[in-house]
Protein backbone atom coordinates (compact mmCIF):
# COMPACT_ATOMS: atom_id res chain seq x y z
CA UNK A 1 0.00 0.00 0.00
CA UNK A 2 1.50 3.32 -1.04
CA UNK A 3 1.70 6.38 1.23
CA UNK A 4 -1.09 8.85 0.51
CA UNK A 5 1.27 11.70 -0.37
CA UNK A 6 3.03 9.89 -3.22
CA UNK A 7 1.84 9.59 -6.80
CA UNK A 8 0.99 6.09 -7.94
CA UNK A 9 3.54 6.31 -10.75
CA UNK A 10 6.27 7.37 -8.35
CA UNK A 11 5.43 4.51 -6.00
CA UNK A 12 5.63 1.95 -8.79
CA UNK A 13 8.91 3.43 -9.98
CA UNK A 14 10.34 3.37 -6.46
CA UNK A 15 9.37 -0.29 -5.98
CA UNK A 16 10.87 -1.23 -9.33
CA UNK A 17 14.14 0.38 -8.26
CA UNK A 18 13.93 -1.29 -4.84
CA UNK A 19 13.63 -4.71 -6.45
CA UNK A 20 16.38 -3.90 -8.96
CA UNK A 21 18.75 -3.05 -6.11
CA UNK A 22 17.93 -6.34 -4.41
CA UNK A 23 19.15 -8.25 -7.47
CA UNK A 24 21.99 -5.96 -8.58
CA UNK A 25 23.44 -5.16 -5.18
CA UNK A 26 24.31 -1.70 -3.89
CA UNK A 27 27.44 -1.17 -6.00
CA UNK A 28 25.99 -2.01 -9.43
CA UNK A 29 22.63 -0.47 -8.61
CA UNK A 30 24.34 2.84 -7.87
CA UNK A 31 26.17 2.77 -11.20
CA UNK A 32 23.13 1.84 -13.27
CA UNK A 33 20.25 3.57 -11.47
CA UNK A 34 21.86 6.11 -9.13
CA UNK A 35 20.88 9.17 -11.20
CA UNK A 36 17.41 7.77 -11.87
CA UNK A 37 16.86 7.41 -8.14
CA UNK A 38 18.00 10.99 -7.43
CA UNK A 39 15.56 12.38 -10.00
CA UNK A 40 12.73 10.24 -8.62
CA UNK A 41 13.43 11.28 -5.04
CA UNK A 42 13.44 14.95 -6.07
CA UNK A 43 10.06 14.56 -7.75
CA UNK A 44 8.66 12.70 -4.73
CA UNK A 45 10.01 15.37 -2.37
CA UNK A 46 8.36 18.17 -4.36
CA UNK A 47 5.01 16.40 -4.52
CA UNK A 48 5.01 15.33 -0.85
CA UNK A 49 5.93 18.87 0.25
CA UNK A 50 2.86 20.26 -1.51
CA UNK A 51 0.62 17.38 -0.46
CA UNK A 52 1.02 16.71 3.27
CA UNK A 53 0.01 13.20 4.25
CA UNK A 54 -2.84 12.59 6.70
CA UNK A 55 -1.59 10.68 9.74
CA UNK A 56 -3.50 7.40 9.48
CA UNK A 57 -1.04 5.30 11.49
CA UNK A 58 -1.44 5.12 15.27
CA UNK A 59 -0.37 3.29 18.41
CA UNK A 60 -3.35 1.81 20.27
CA UNK A 61 -2.63 2.55 23.94
CA UNK A 62 -4.89 0.68 26.38
CA UNK A 63 -5.11 1.03 30.14
CA UNK A 64 -6.12 -1.78 32.47
CA UNK A 65 -9.87 -2.18 32.30
CA UNK A 66 -9.91 -1.36 28.58
CA UNK A 67 -8.95 -4.91 27.60
CA UNK A 68 -9.24 -8.46 28.87
CA UNK A 69 -7.79 -10.95 26.39
CA UNK A 70 -5.05 -9.72 24.06
CA UNK A 71 -5.86 -8.93 20.45
CA UNK A 72 -3.94 -8.00 17.30
CA UNK A 73 -4.03 -5.46 14.51
CA UNK A 74 -2.60 -6.07 11.04
CA UNK A 75 -0.85 -2.69 10.89
CA UNK A 76 -0.85 -0.89 14.27
CA UNK A 77 1.13 -1.53 17.47
CA UNK A 78 -0.93 -2.05 20.64
CA UNK A 79 0.17 -1.33 24.22
CA UNK A 80 -1.48 -3.28 27.03
CA UNK A 81 -0.65 -1.19 30.08
CA UNK A 82 0.07 -3.27 33.19
CA UNK A 83 -0.81 -6.57 31.53
CA UNK A 84 2.26 -8.26 33.04
CA UNK A 85 2.28 -6.31 36.31
CA UNK A 86 1.36 -9.42 38.34
CA UNK A 87 3.68 -11.86 36.56
CA UNK A 88 6.45 -13.50 38.60
CA UNK A 89 9.19 -11.78 36.58
CA UNK A 90 8.14 -8.37 37.89
CA UNK A 91 10.29 -7.38 40.84
CA UNK A 92 12.13 -10.71 40.74
CA UNK A 93 14.12 -10.04 37.59
CA UNK A 94 16.69 -7.52 38.77
CA UNK A 95 20.25 -7.05 37.54
CA UNK A 96 21.58 -8.52 40.79
CA UNK A 97 19.26 -11.52 40.42
CA UNK A 98 20.72 -12.37 37.02
CA UNK A 99 24.29 -11.78 38.19
CA UNK A 100 23.84 -14.11 41.15
CA UNK A 101 21.74 -16.88 39.58
CA UNK A 102 22.94 -16.87 35.96
CA UNK A 103 26.22 -14.97 36.16
CA UNK A 104 28.21 -18.08 35.19
CA UNK A 105 26.30 -18.44 31.91
CA UNK A 106 27.75 -17.27 28.60
CA UNK A 107 25.80 -14.57 26.77
CA UNK A 108 26.34 -13.42 23.20
CA UNK A 109 26.68 -9.77 22.16
CA UNK A 110 25.57 -9.44 18.54
CA UNK A 111 26.79 -6.84 16.07
CA UNK A 112 24.64 -7.63 13.04
CA UNK A 113 24.40 -4.86 10.42
CA UNK A 114 21.69 -2.33 11.23
CA UNK A 115 21.08 -3.66 14.75
CA UNK A 116 23.74 -1.70 16.61
CA UNK A 117 24.17 2.07 16.83
CA UNK A 118 27.81 2.01 15.79
CA UNK A 119 30.64 -0.43 15.20
CA UNK A 120 32.06 -0.24 18.74
CA UNK A 121 30.19 -3.35 19.90
CA UNK A 122 32.03 -6.33 18.51
CA UNK A 123 30.53 -9.79 18.36
CA UNK A 124 31.55 -11.37 21.64
CA UNK A 125 30.69 -14.14 24.09
CA UNK A 126 31.09 -13.09 27.72
CA UNK A 127 30.07 -14.27 31.17
CA UNK A 128 26.74 -12.77 32.14
CA UNK A 129 28.12 -11.45 35.44
CA UNK A 130 30.90 -9.61 33.56
CA UNK A 131 28.40 -8.05 31.19
CA UNK A 132 26.22 -6.82 34.07
CA UNK A 133 29.24 -5.45 35.93
CA UNK A 134 30.32 -3.52 32.85
CA UNK A 135 26.79 -2.20 32.30
CA UNK A 136 26.67 -0.89 35.86
CA UNK A 137 29.94 0.92 35.20
CA UNK A 138 28.48 2.69 32.18
CA UNK A 139 29.37 0.33 29.32
CA UNK A 140 27.29 0.96 26.20
CA UNK A 141 27.41 -2.64 25.06
CA UNK A 142 23.86 -3.88 24.66
CA UNK A 143 22.76 -7.49 25.20
CA UNK A 144 19.98 -8.02 22.69
CA UNK A 145 18.26 -10.94 20.96
CA UNK A 146 19.73 -13.31 23.56
CA UNK A 147 18.25 -16.81 23.78
CA UNK A 148 18.71 -16.90 27.56
CA UNK A 149 15.02 -17.43 28.35
CA UNK A 150 14.71 -20.39 26.00
CA UNK A 151 17.94 -21.86 27.33
CA UNK A 152 16.91 -21.52 30.99
CA UNK A 153 13.53 -23.17 31.57
CA UNK A 154 13.22 -21.64 35.01
CA UNK A 155 12.93 -18.17 33.47
CA UNK A 156 9.98 -19.24 31.33
CA UNK A 157 8.06 -20.10 34.48
CA UNK A 158 7.99 -16.41 35.37
CA UNK A 159 5.82 -15.58 32.33
CA UNK A 160 2.13 -16.16 31.64
CA UNK A 161 2.36 -18.12 28.40
CA UNK A 162 -1.33 -18.92 28.44
CA UNK A 163 -1.94 -15.19 27.98
CA UNK A 164 0.87 -14.68 25.46
CA UNK A 165 -0.24 -17.59 23.30
CA UNK A 166 -3.61 -15.95 22.76
CA UNK A 167 -1.82 -13.67 20.28
CA UNK A 168 -0.91 -16.62 18.08
CA UNK A 169 -2.80 -17.25 14.86
CA UNK A 170 -3.44 -20.28 12.69
CA UNK A 171 -0.27 -21.37 10.94
CA UNK A 172 2.04 -19.56 13.38
CA UNK A 173 5.56 -20.95 13.44
CA UNK A 174 8.01 -20.92 16.35
CA UNK A 175 7.71 -19.74 19.89
CA UNK A 176 10.94 -17.85 20.36
CA UNK A 177 11.90 -15.62 23.27
CA UNK A 178 14.58 -12.95 22.89
CA UNK A 179 16.05 -11.45 26.06
CA UNK A 180 17.19 -7.81 26.21
CA UNK A 181 19.29 -6.11 28.87
CA UNK A 182 20.92 -2.74 28.35
CA UNK A 183 22.14 0.31 30.20
CA UNK A 184 20.74 3.80 29.97
CA UNK A 185 20.95 5.36 26.48
CA UNK A 186 21.74 2.09 24.69
CA UNK A 187 19.58 1.54 21.65
CA UNK A 188 18.70 -0.40 18.52
CA UNK A 189 18.37 1.76 15.36
CA UNK A 190 15.43 1.70 12.95
CA UNK A 191 14.72 -1.82 11.76
CA UNK A 192 11.95 -4.32 11.22
CA UNK A 193 11.63 -8.07 11.29
CA UNK A 194 9.37 -10.67 9.76
CA UNK A 195 8.08 -12.06 13.04
CA UNK A 196 5.15 -10.64 14.96
CA UNK A 197 6.36 -9.47 18.37
CA UNK A 198 4.93 -9.23 21.88
CA UNK A 199 7.40 -7.35 24.07
CA UNK A 200 7.19 -7.60 27.87
CA UNK A 201 8.86 -4.76 29.76
CA UNK A 202 10.24 -6.16 33.02
CA UNK A 203 12.59 -3.51 34.41
CA UNK A 204 13.24 0.12 33.51
CA UNK A 205 11.79 2.28 30.74
CA UNK A 206 12.09 1.97 26.96
CA UNK A 207 11.25 4.55 24.32
CA UNK A 208 9.85 3.08 21.11
CA UNK A 209 9.69 4.99 17.83
CA UNK A 210 7.40 3.49 15.16
CA UNK A 211 6.85 4.13 11.46
CA UNK A 212 4.30 2.49 9.15
CA UNK A 213 5.64 -0.29 6.96
CA UNK A 214 5.23 1.75 3.75
CA UNK A 215 7.43 4.54 5.11
CA UNK A 216 10.51 2.61 3.99
CA UNK A 217 10.65 5.10 1.13
CA UNK A 218 10.95 8.01 3.59
CA UNK A 219 13.33 6.44 6.10
CA UNK A 220 15.66 5.24 3.35
CA UNK A 221 15.70 1.50 3.95
CA UNK A 222 17.57 -0.39 1.28
CA UNK A 223 17.32 -4.05 0.19
CA UNK A 224 20.48 -5.78 1.40
CA UNK A 225 19.32 -9.40 1.01
CA UNK A 226 19.06 -10.00 4.74
CA UNK A 227 15.88 -11.56 6.12
CA UNK A 228 15.33 -8.40 8.13
CA UNK A 229 15.45 -4.76 7.05
CA UNK A 230 16.96 -1.63 8.58
CA UNK A 231 17.74 2.04 8.08
CA UNK A 232 20.60 4.24 9.26
CA UNK A 233 18.33 7.27 9.49
CA UNK A 234 18.09 9.22 12.75
CA UNK A 235 14.41 9.94 13.53
CA UNK A 236 15.42 13.22 15.17
CA UNK A 237 17.64 14.53 12.36
CA UNK A 238 15.26 15.52 9.58
CA UNK A 239 17.91 17.45 7.64
CA UNK A 240 20.32 14.62 6.95
CA UNK A 241 21.18 14.85 3.21
CA UNK A 242 21.59 11.06 3.10
CA UNK A 243 17.86 10.74 3.82
CA UNK A 244 16.20 13.54 1.81
CA UNK A 245 12.68 12.18 2.29
CA UNK A 246 12.85 11.58 6.06
CA UNK A 247 11.05 14.86 6.79
CA UNK A 248 7.91 13.39 5.22
CA UNK A 249 7.81 10.38 7.56
CA UNK A 250 5.35 10.36 10.45
CA UNK A 251 7.13 9.39 13.66
CA UNK A 252 5.13 7.86 16.52
CA UNK A 253 6.60 7.44 20.00
CA UNK A 254 5.64 5.64 23.17
CA UNK A 255 7.26 4.83 26.52
CA UNK A 256 7.05 1.32 27.92
CA UNK A 257 7.17 0.89 31.72
CA UNK A 258 7.59 -2.22 33.89
CA UNK A 259 4.56 -4.49 33.53
CA UNK A 260 3.54 -3.08 30.13
CA UNK A 261 3.17 -5.40 27.15
CA UNK A 262 3.61 -4.18 23.57
CA UNK A 263 2.37 -5.98 20.47
CA UNK A 264 3.39 -4.98 16.95
CA UNK A 265 2.82 -6.72 13.62
CA UNK A 266 5.20 -8.06 11.04
CA UNK A 267 7.52 -5.61 9.24
CA UNK A 268 6.56 -2.47 11.19
CA UNK A 269 9.56 -0.14 11.52
CA UNK A 270 10.78 0.59 15.04
CA UNK A 271 13.69 2.12 16.90
CA UNK A 272 14.20 1.31 20.58
CA UNK A 273 16.10 3.28 23.23
CA UNK A 274 16.67 2.38 26.87
CA UNK A 275 15.71 5.53 28.78
CA UNK A 276 16.97 3.82 31.95
CA UNK A 277 18.78 0.55 32.61
CA UNK A 278 16.32 -1.95 31.21
CA UNK A 279 15.30 -5.62 31.03
CA UNK A 280 12.69 -7.01 28.65
CA UNK A 281 11.70 -10.07 26.63
CA UNK A 282 10.34 -10.28 23.09
CA UNK A 283 8.03 -13.22 22.44
CA UNK A 284 7.99 -13.89 18.68
CA UNK A 285 6.23 -16.04 16.12
CA UNK A 286 5.67 -15.76 12.37
CA UNK A 287 3.34 -16.68 9.54
CA UNK A 288 3.81 -16.19 5.82
CA UNK A 289 0.47 -14.42 5.64
CA UNK A 290 1.41 -11.75 8.18
CA UNK A 291 4.32 -10.49 6.09
CA UNK A 292 2.26 -10.48 2.90
CA UNK A 293 -0.41 -8.35 4.59
CA UNK A 294 2.14 -5.85 5.89
CA UNK A 295 4.17 -5.34 2.71
CA UNK A 296 4.12 -7.32 -0.50
CA UNK A 297 7.51 -5.90 -1.53
CA UNK A 298 9.27 -6.69 1.74
CA UNK A 299 7.54 -10.08 1.77
CA UNK A 300 9.02 -10.75 -1.68
CA UNK A 301 12.49 -9.63 -0.61
CA UNK A 302 12.23 -11.81 2.49
CA UNK A 303 11.49 -14.83 0.30
CA UNK A 304 14.46 -13.90 -1.91
CA UNK A 305 16.86 -13.29 0.99
CA UNK A 306 20.33 -14.79 0.67
CA UNK A 307 21.72 -13.82 4.11
CA UNK A 308 20.73 -16.55 4.89
CA UNK A 309 18.77 -18.33 2.19
CA UNK A 310 15.12 -18.85 3.08
CA UNK A 311 15.57 -22.62 3.04
CA UNK A 312 18.10 -22.28 5.88
CA UNK A 313 15.55 -20.30 7.86
CA UNK A 314 12.59 -22.62 7.37
CA UNK A 315 14.06 -26.14 7.33
CA UNK A 316 13.91 -26.92 10.12
CA UNK A 317 11.99 -23.97 11.50
CA UNK A 318 14.09 -23.71 14.61
CA UNK A 319 16.71 -21.20 13.56
CA UNK A 320 16.70 -17.60 14.73
CA UNK A 321 14.16 -16.34 12.25
CA UNK A 322 15.75 -12.90 12.11
CA UNK A 323 19.28 -14.35 11.97
CA UNK A 324 20.51 -12.60 15.10
CA UNK A 325 23.80 -14.43 15.27
CA UNK A 326 27.38 -14.04 14.19
CA UNK A 327 27.75 -13.67 10.39
CA UNK A 328 29.60 -16.65 8.93
CA UNK A 329 32.19 -14.46 7.20
CA UNK A 330 33.29 -12.75 10.45
Please report the DSSP string for 287-322 in residue order: -HHHHHHH-HHHHHHHHT-BBTBHHHHHSSTTS-TT
pLDDT at 317: 42
DSSP letter assigned to residue 227: S
- Is the model's pLDDT at 3 over the cut of 70? yes
Query: For the residues 242-251, what does the mean pLDDT come to?
Result: 95
Question: Smallest Cα–Cα separation from 72: which of 177, 174, 196?
Answer: 196
Query: For the residues 237-259, what does the mean pLDDT come to?
Result: 96
Domains of the chain: residue spans and CATH? 57-314 (2.60.120.10)
Question: What tens digit of pLDDT does each residue of 282-326 get?
Answer: 999 988 899 999 999 999 999 999 988 876 666 544 445 445 555
Which residue would you say has higher pLDDT here, 89 or 121?
89
Mean pLDDT estimate for the chain: 92
- Is the model's pLDDT at 143 over the cut of 60? yes
Measured in residues, the chain has a length of 330
pLDDT at 282: 98
Residue 39's CB: how many other CB atoms inside 10 A? 10
pLDDT at 324: 54
The strands making up 60-62's β-sheet, listed across from edge to edge, are 60-62, 78-80, 261-264, 196-203, 278-286, 173-182, 143-146
Interatomic CA distance for residues 149 and 133, integer angstroms: 20
pLDDT at 250: 92
Query: For the residues 192-219, what does the mean pLDDT come to?
Result: 97
Residue 326 CA to chain centroid, in angstroms? 18
Question: What tens digit of pLDDT does each residue of 63-91 get?
Answer: 999 999 999 999 999 999 999 999 999 99
Helix (H/G/I), strand (E/B), else coil: 159: coil
Confidence band for 159, pLDDT divided at 50, 70 and 90: very high
pLDDT at 120: 64
pLDDT at 319: 45
- Is the model's pLDDT at 119 over the cut of 60? no
- Could you tell me if 128 and 99 are in contact, meaning their C-beta atoms sit under 8 angstroms apart? yes
pLDDT at 89: 98
Give the whole-number percent of the chain exceeding pLDDT 70: 93
Which residue would you say has higher pLDDT here, 317 or 46?
46
Please report the DSSP string for 2-44 in residue order: --TTS-HHHHHHHHHHHHHHHHHHHHHHHHHHHHHHHHHHHHH
pLDDT at 318: 45
Query: For the residues 129-157, what does the mean pLDDT come to?
Result: 95
pLDDT at 316: 44
Question: Smallest Cα–Cα separation from 204: which of 178, 184, 177?
Answer: 184
Question: What tens digit of pLDDT does each residue of 260-288 get?
Answer: 999 999 999 999 999 999 999 999 998 88
Amino acid sequence: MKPNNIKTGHWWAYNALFLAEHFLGEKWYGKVFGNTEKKLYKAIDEFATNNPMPDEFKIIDLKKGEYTDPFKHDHFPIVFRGAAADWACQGKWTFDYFAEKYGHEDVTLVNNPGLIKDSDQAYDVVKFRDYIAGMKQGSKRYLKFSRLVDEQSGLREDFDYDWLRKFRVKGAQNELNYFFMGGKNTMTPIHDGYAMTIFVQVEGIKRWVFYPTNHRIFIGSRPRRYNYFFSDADPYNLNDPKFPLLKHAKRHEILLHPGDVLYFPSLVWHQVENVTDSIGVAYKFATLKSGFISSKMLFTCFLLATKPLLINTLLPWKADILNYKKPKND
